Amino acid sequence: MNSLMALPAEPPSPSSFSSGLLLSIKLAVDVLVVACPCALGLATPTAVLVATSLGARRGLLLRGGGEVLERLAGVKAVVLDKTGTLTQGKPRVSSVQCAASTTEATVLTLAASLERSSRHPLAEGV
* DSSP run (H or E) holding 25: helix 14-35
Q: What angle do CA 55, 56, 58 make, to 5 degrees?
A: 65
Q: What is the predicted pLDDT for the residue at 12? A: 54
As a whole number of angstroms, the distance between CA 115 and CA 16 comes to 59
Catalytic residues: 81
pLDDT tens series, the chain, 126 aa? 444 444 455 555 555 556 778 888 888 888 877 887 777 777 778 888 888 888 888 887 777 777 888 888 888 887 777 777 776 777 888 888 888 888 988 988 988 888 888 888 778 877
User: Phi/psi of residue 13, each to 5°?
Assistant: -75, 150
Q: What pTM was computed for the model?
A: 0.36
Note the pLDDT of residue 14.
54
